[in-house]
Amino acid sequence: MSGKRLRSDLGWSTVDRIVVRGKDLPGEILGHLNLGDMAFLELTGRAPAAPESKLFNAMVVTLVEHGVTPSALVARLTYLGAPEALQAAVAGGLLGLGSVFVGSMEGAAKLCSEAFSAGEPDIAALLARYRRVPGLGHPLHKPVDPRTVRLFEIARETGYYGKYCRFMERIAAEKRLTLNATGAIGALACELGLDWRCVRGLGVMARAVGLVGHILEEAREPMAEEIWQRVDDEASAHLKPAKR
Site for its own copies in 202-221 (CB under 8 A): 202, 204-206, 208-210, 212-217, 219-221
Contact 11, 28 (CB under 8 A): no
Part in contact with its own copies (CB under 8 A); list of ranges 110-118, 123-131, 137-145, 162-170? 137-145
Q: How far are the Cα atoms of 71, 146, 151 from residue 95, in angstroms, in the given order?
A: 8, 26, 26
State the sign of the Cα–Cα–Cα–Cα dihedral 147, 134, 111, 45. Answer: positive
Per CB under 8 A, contacts with its own copies among 53-92 are 53-54, 57-58, 60-62, 64-74, 77-92
- Residue 222: Cβ within 10 Å count: 13
Q: Is 103 in the site for its own copies (CB under 8 A)?
A: yes
Q: Does 193 bind its own copies (CB under 8 A)?
A: no
Per CB under 8 A, 230 contacts its own copies = yes
Q: Does 12 bind its own copies (CB under 8 A)?
A: yes
Residues 224 and 201: beta-carbon distance below 8 Å: no
Q: Is residue 29 at the binding interface for its own copies, with CB under 8 A as the rule?
A: yes
Q: Which is nearer to its own copies, 124 or 140 (CB)?
A: 140
236 binds its own copies (CB under 8 A): yes
Which of 5, 52, 85 lies closest to 188, judged by CA? 52
Closest CA relative to residue 147, chosen from 66, 74, 76, 71: 66
Residue 3 within binding range of its own copies, rule CB under 8 A: yes
User: What's the DSSP call for residue 6?
Assistant: P
Q: Is 126 in the site for its own copies (CB under 8 A)?
A: no
Nearest approach, Cβ of 44 to its own copies (angstroms)?
Answer: 10
CB 138 to its own copies: min, Å: 10
- Contact status: 42 vs its own copies (CB under 8 A): yes
Q: Is 184 in the site for its own copies (CB under 8 A)?
A: no
Total residues interacting with its own copies, rule: CB under 8 A: 132
Is residue 100 part of the contact set for its own copies (CB under 8 A)? yes
Q: To the nearest whole angstrom, how small is the minimum distance from the Cβ of residue 62 to its own copies?
A: 6
Contact 180, 135 (CB under 8 A): yes
C-beta of residue 72 within 8 angstroms of C-beta of residue 63 = no
- Is residue 152 within the footprint of its own copies (CB under 8 A)? no
Nearer to its own copies, 19 or 126 (CB): 19
d(CA 18, CA 181): 36
The residue ranges of DSSP E strands in the chain, in sequence order, are 11-13, 18-20, 23-24
Quick one: 123 or 222, whose CB is closer to its own copies?
222
Strands 18-20 and 11-13: antiparallel
